[in-house]
């Protein structure tokens, strides 16, 4: 029986996509070989690759003046590549520190450019994102980096801040789950392994006018302009991950596209937050209401024993991946695009039953 998979990533993918990929794996559309055995310069792979790139732009609604690149190394490599590529002498990068991922983006990037924290929620326990007014932009700032959704803390920007410098957004954990105001952004990036496919590929959108000014004094793999000019085929791309991303994007289209994903995410997370809010404090969320993530709902029960009991009962009810992050504990329900609403219904039912039995 297929599990209700609440894993924070890698995570659940559409069953129809998995079954289609399985069926065509050994002999790809009668080619006499698997897609992963073909030259990445073959016309067959080229069609798969270019379709995935085009769909990434169309599904996400990226304007024509943005390019998309598919890279290996995940969002973690992007932490270094962003300041490497975007900062010239004398320019600085500003970072909104909203949790573990934003902290990593800042500390990693600091080896490759002059960066600073424009706001840091650490003293408040990372329970919210700042307002635009709270973000302090210093002179010579080239960009403001924001982490759209913090997977571990379970907070998100409901509105992206307009502070007079363009944004760079890490959207790893809510990529293509929401429309974004492209005018505010110069660059958007993230790993595919939450909402878009298996692990192994990062997707970066970058404004074309920015590509004209990026640093050229870097090894080729570290240059956005080269990847963009070669349609992410400068070197051998991560073929299988890109192929799967293309299929997931096609599935998203078939479901109605980004707007449907966004409303489903709001609905699914709303069901869990409602269960928390209606529990008379049995289930507790540390996150400020207006910063609540639509992807990762983090909550605690009244004791660690009850946390453990809840997780054990979840396992008995065919749910997996609900254990909270190591440093946070409690429960984390990740509700990515491919998680069916039936899984959320089952979780909410568990929350009601477990509270009745233990409150």
Name the residues annotated as catalytic: 101, 170, 194
Q: Which of 130, 169, 237, 330 binds a copy of itself (CB under 8 A)?
A: 237
Per CB under 8 A, does 219 bind a copy of itself? yes
Per CB under 8 A, does 191 bind a copy of itself? yes
Residue 34 in 3-state DSSP? Answer: coil
Q: What does the alpha-carbon distance between residue 223 and residue 92 come to, in Å, rounded to a whole number?
A: 19
Neighbours of 355 (CB within 10 A): 18
Q: Which of 12, 147, 148, 269 binds a copy of itself (CB under 8 A)?
A: 12
Read off the tokens for 100: 């573990």
Per CB under 8 A, does 1 bind a copy of itself? yes
Minimum distance from residue 114 beta carbon to a copy of itself (Å): 14
* Residues 315-344: x where in contact with a copy of itself by CB under 8 A, - otherwise, as a string: ---x-xx-----------------------
Q: Which of 48, 68, 201, 245 binds a copy of itself (CB under 8 A)?
A: 201
Per CB under 8 A, does 100 bind a copy of itself? no
Question: Backbone phi, then psi, for 12, in 5-degree steps?
Answer: -60, 140
Minimum distance from residue 157 beta carbon to a copy of itself (Å): 22
Return the range that interacts with a copy of itself (CB under 8 A); candidates 101-109, 143-151, 181-189, 250-258. 101-109
The CB-based long-range contact list for 51-54 (8 Å cut-off, 24+ gap) reads 51/246, 52/242, 52/243, 52/245, 52/246, 52/249, 53/231, 53/232
Write down the H helix ranges in the chain: 15-23, 43-60, 74-86, 100-109, 208-211, 224-229, 239-255, 258-277, 304-316, 341-358
Return the range that interacts with a copy of itself (CB under 8 A); candidates 38-46, 50-58, 60-68, 150-158. 38-46
Q: Assign residue 300 a region: left if phi > 0, alpha if psi is -120 to 50, beta otherwise? A: beta
C-beta of 201 vs 249, nearer to a copy of itself: 201
Minimum distance from residue 282 beta carbon to a copy of itself (Å): 27
Per CB under 8 A, does 190 bind a copy of itself? no
Per CB under 8 A, does 33 bind a copy of itself? yes
Inter-CA distances, 289 with 18, 50, 122, 268, 348, Å = 36, 41, 18, 16, 19
Per CB under 8 A, does 104 bind a copy of itself? yes
Question: Backbone phi, then psi, for 320, in 5-degree steps?
Answer: -140, 165
Residue 50 in 3-state DSSP? Answer: helix
248-275: b (≥16 Cβ within 10 Å) or e:
bbbbbeeeebbeebbebbeebbebbbeb
Q: What does the alpha-carbon distance between residue 38 and residue 57 come to, in Å, rounded to a whole number?
A: 25
Footprint on residues 246-285 left by a copy of itself (CB under 8 A): none
Return the range that interacts with a copy of itself (CB under 8 A); candidates 117-125, 145-153, 176-184, 198-206. 198-206
Minimum distance from residue 101 beta carbon to a copy of itself (Å): 11
Return the range that interacts with a copy of itself (CB under 8 A); candidates 46-54, 176-184, 191-199, 349-357. 191-199
Q: What does the alpha-carbon distance between residue 195 and residue 59 come to, in Å, rounded to a whole number?
A: 13
Q: Which of 57, 61, 76, 340 binds a copy of itself (CB under 8 A)?
A: 76
Q: List interacting residues with a copy of itself (CB under 8 A).
A: 1-3, 5, 7-13, 15, 18-19, 21-22, 25-27, 31-34, 36-40, 42, 71-77, 79-80, 104, 108-109, 111-112, 191, 193, 198-201, 217-222, 234-241, 244, 318, 320-321
């Amino acid at each position: 029986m297929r599990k209700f998979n609440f894993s924070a990533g890698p995570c659940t993918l559409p069953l129809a996509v998995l079954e289609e990929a399985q069926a065509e794996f050994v002999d790809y559309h009668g080619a006499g070989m698997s897609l992963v055995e073909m030259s990445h310069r073959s016309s067959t792979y080229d069609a798969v690759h270019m379709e995935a790139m085009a769909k990434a732009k169309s599904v996400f609604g990226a304007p024509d003046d943005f390019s998309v690149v598919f890279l290996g190394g995940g969002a973690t490599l992007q932490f270094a590549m962003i300041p490497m590529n975007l900062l010239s002498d004398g320019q600085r990068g500003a970072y909104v520190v909203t949790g573990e991922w934003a902290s990593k983006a800042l500390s990693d990037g600091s080896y490759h450019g002059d960066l600073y924290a424009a706001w840091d929620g650490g003293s408040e326990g990372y329970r919210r994102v700042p307002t635009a007014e709270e973000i302090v932009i210093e002179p010579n700032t080239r960009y403001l980096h924001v982490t759209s959704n913090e997977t571990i803390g379970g907070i998100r920007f409901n509105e992206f801040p307009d502070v007079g410098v363009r944004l760079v957004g890490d959207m790893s954990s809510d990529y293509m789950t929401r429309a974004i105001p492209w005018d505010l952004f110069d660059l958007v990036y993230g790993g595919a392994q939450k909402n878009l496919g298996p692990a192994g590929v990062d997707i970066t959108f970058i404004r074309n006018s920015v590509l004209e000014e990026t640093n050229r004094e870097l090894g080729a793999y570290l240059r956005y302009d080269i990847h963009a000019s070669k349609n992410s085929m400068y070197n051998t791309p991560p073929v299988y991950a890109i192929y799967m991303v293309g299929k997931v994007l096609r599935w998203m289209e078939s479901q109605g596209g980004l707007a449907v994903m966004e409303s489903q995410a709001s609905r699914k997370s709303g069901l869990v937050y409602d269960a928390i809010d209606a529990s008379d404090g049995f289930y507790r969320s540390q996150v400020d209401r207006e910063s609540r993530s639509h992807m990762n709902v983090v909550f605690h029960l009244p004791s660690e024993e009850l946390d453990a009991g809840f997780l054990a009962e979840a396992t008995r009810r065919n749910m997996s991946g609900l254990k909270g992050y190591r440093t946070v504990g409690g429960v984390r329900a990740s509700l990515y695009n491919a998680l069916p609403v039936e899984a959320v219904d089952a979780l909410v039912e568990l929350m009601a039953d477990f509270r009745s039995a233990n409150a």
